[in-house]
């Protein structure tokens, strides 16, 4: 990734972006598992491909299998939030993190406080994905601006 100007006009060298610690998170509900949808292996592969495309190194992959996106009480999600020693959380799509806007609000505020940027490996137009992108634009997240500038 080449150095790029941010909205503040500050040039951020690509080495700063490459030096981040990255973890991945994938989730598949019990219903999705029964129906053969949102395969965890496919999610992990898309996350790994995205991380590789950014020339990052994936330090850990967290996976909640048979866990609903309707609540935040998931073992691996709680584990990764309990050890915030990373700067980037990569998910496949926003609905893998949560299916509720109120939970997304909570998670975005918590991740911001911890200095963590959440990035989706797969572009989506669903309302939660759009909300997350808007949140980062409004709050001037520098890493997000570098990744998704027009």
Long-range contacts of 76-79 (CB under 8 A, 24+ apart): 76/25, 77/25, 77/27
| Residues 42 and 5: beta-carbon distance below 8 Å | no
Please report, in tens digits, the pLDDT of each residue of the chain (150 residues total). 333 333 333 333 444 566 789 999 999 988 877 787 668 999 999 999 999 999 999 999 999 998 888 999 999 999 999 999 999 999 999 999 999 999 999 999 999 999 999 999 998 899 999 999 999 989 888 888 787 764
Supply φ then ψ for residue 18, to 5 degrees.
-75, -20
Q: Which of 81, 87, 39, 35 is nearest to 62 (CA)?
A: 81
Q: Which of 59, 54, 60, 61 is nearest to 16 (CA)?
A: 54
- CA neighbours closer than 13 Å in the CB half-sphere of residue 57: 5
- Report the alpha-carbon distance of residue 129 to residue 125 in Å, rounded: 6
Q: Which CATH architecture has domain 4-147?
A: 3-Layer(aba) Sandwich (3.40)
| Residues 104 and 132: beta-carbon distance below 8 Å | yes
Write down the domain spans for the chain.
Answer: 4-147
């Amino acid at each position: 990734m080449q150095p790029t100007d941010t909205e503040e006009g500050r040039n951020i060298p690509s080495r700063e972006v490459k030096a981040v610690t990255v973890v991945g998170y994938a989730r598949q509900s019990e219903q999705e598992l029964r129906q053969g949808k949102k395969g965890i292996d496919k999610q992990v592969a898309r996350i790994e491909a995205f991380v590789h495309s950014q020339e990052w190194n994936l330090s850990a992959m967290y996976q909640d299998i048979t866990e609903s996106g309707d609540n935040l009480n998931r073992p691996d999600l709680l584990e990764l939030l309990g050890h915030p020693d990373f700067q980037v959380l990569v998910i496949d799509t926003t609905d893998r993190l949560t299916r509720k806007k109120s939970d997304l609000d909570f998670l975005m505020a918590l991740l911001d406080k911890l200095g963590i940027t959440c990035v989706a490996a797969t572009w989506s137009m669903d309302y939660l994905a759009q909300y997350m992108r808007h949140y980062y634009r409004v709050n001037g997240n520098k890493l997000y601006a570098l990744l998704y500038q027009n």
